[in-house]
């Protein structure tokens, strides 16, 4: 069964029409969240991203019943340093140009938007439908075309495959590690590669063990990114199926 996609309405629309839609969406989001806007430069391109000012304020919205059901925290609402690093590499290396790309746990969509800007055909996914509203806004704000879809990485179904799977800072809970490996295995086309950016959490070692056990070869790029007055160390793991 194919993904239930929503195509962000950018292609074929005038700048004025896009701006009108952005104003409408911004009003809608501002009525529900305290917002912040940040600017980044990746490669030779400038980007602007909208996110939630204080993700911890969203904790009050989660009922005990909802938490017991899913244990879902509003991690989607922040832009994490690993997403910045992954986005920068995507724009600078252009490895994803012309490829089909799916992002897992996209949050507000930074890496997906960088991939689309670099010339990839992108399906941006997150478990949170709230996150996908921000993805739509940010894609239009940066004038890139992409599709969005809700995806639970614990329950990946269907036969659609992608040349690349990308994700940033998703290795934060042990219970997620095997589902993420299984999702990558299910989604990746033959000859494809997954790019997982992580701020060198301890859980990454366990993730890599699972990746290796599932027949993937691993290479890594160690990078550093400035976050305010701090330097954040991020590793991007490239996963490809073994040839043996």
According to DSSP, the residues that pair with 221 across neighbouring strands are 236
Domain that holds residue 127: 6-241
pLDDT higher at 7 or 55: 7
1 domain-assigned: no
198 domain-assigned: yes
232 domain-assigned: yes
Query: Is residue 56's pLDDT more than 70?
Result: no
- φ/ψ region of 14 (left if φ > 0, alpha if ψ in -120 to 50, else beta) reads beta
Q: 141-176, pLDDT tens digit by residue?
A: 999 999 999 999 999 987 899 999 999 999 988 999
- DSSP state letter for 106: -
73 domain-assigned: yes
pTM of the full predicted structure?
0.92
The CATH number for 20's domain is: 3.40.50.150
105 domain-assigned: yes
Please classify residue 198 by burial: count the beta carbons closer than 10 Å to its beta carbon, then call 0-12 exposed, 13-18 middle and 19+ buried.
buried
**Token reading at 69:** 């059901």
Confidence of residue 109 (pLDDT cuts 50, 70, 90): very high
163 domain-assigned: yes
Percent of the chain exceeding pLDDT 90 equals 75
How many distinct structural domains can be found in the chain? 1
**Token reading at 12:** 């074929």
Strand (E) positions, the chain? 6-7, 35-42, 45-52, 100-103, 121-126, 147-150, 162-168, 188-198, 216-227, 230-241
Angle (CA) 114 120 122, round 5°: 80
Do 89 and 223 touch, CB atoms closer than 8 A?
yes
Q: 197-223, pLDDT tens digit by residue?
A: 999 888 999 999 999 999 999 999 988
**Token reading at 101:** 């790309």
Q: 16-54, pLDDT tens digit by residue?
A: 999 999 999 999 999 999 999 999 999 999 999 999 987
32 domain-assigned: yes
């Amino acid at each position: 069964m194919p993904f239930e996609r929503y195509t962000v309405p950018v292609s074929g629309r005038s700048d004025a029409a896009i701006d009108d839609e952005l104003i409408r969406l911004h009003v809608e989001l501002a009525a529900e969240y305290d917002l912040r806007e940040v600017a980044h430069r990746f490669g030779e391109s400038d980007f602007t991203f909208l996110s939630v000012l204080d993700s911890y304020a969203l904790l009050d919205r989660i009922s005990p019943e909802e938490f017991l059901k899913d244990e879902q925290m509003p991690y989607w609402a922040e832009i994490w340093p690993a997403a910045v690093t992954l986005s920068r590499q995507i724009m600078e290396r252009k490895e994803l140009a012309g490829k089909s790309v799916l992002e897992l746990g996209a949050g507000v969509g930074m890496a997906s938007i960088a991939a689309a800007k670099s010339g990839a055909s992108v399906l941006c996914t997150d478990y949170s439908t709230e996150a996908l509203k921000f993805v739509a806004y940010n894609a239009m704000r940066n004038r890139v075309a992409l599709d969005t879809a809700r995806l639970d990485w614990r329950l990946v179904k269907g036969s659609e495959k992608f040349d690349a799977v990308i994700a940033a800072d998703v290795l934060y809970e042990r219970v997620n590690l095997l589902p993420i490996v299984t999702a990558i295995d299910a989604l990746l086309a033959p000859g494809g590669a997954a790019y997982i950016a992580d701020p060198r959490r301890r859980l990454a070692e366990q993730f890599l063990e699972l990746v290796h056990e599932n027949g993937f070869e691993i290479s890594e790029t160690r990078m550093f990114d400035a976050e305010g007055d701090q330097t954040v160390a991020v590793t991007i793991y490239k996963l490809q199926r073994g040839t043996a």
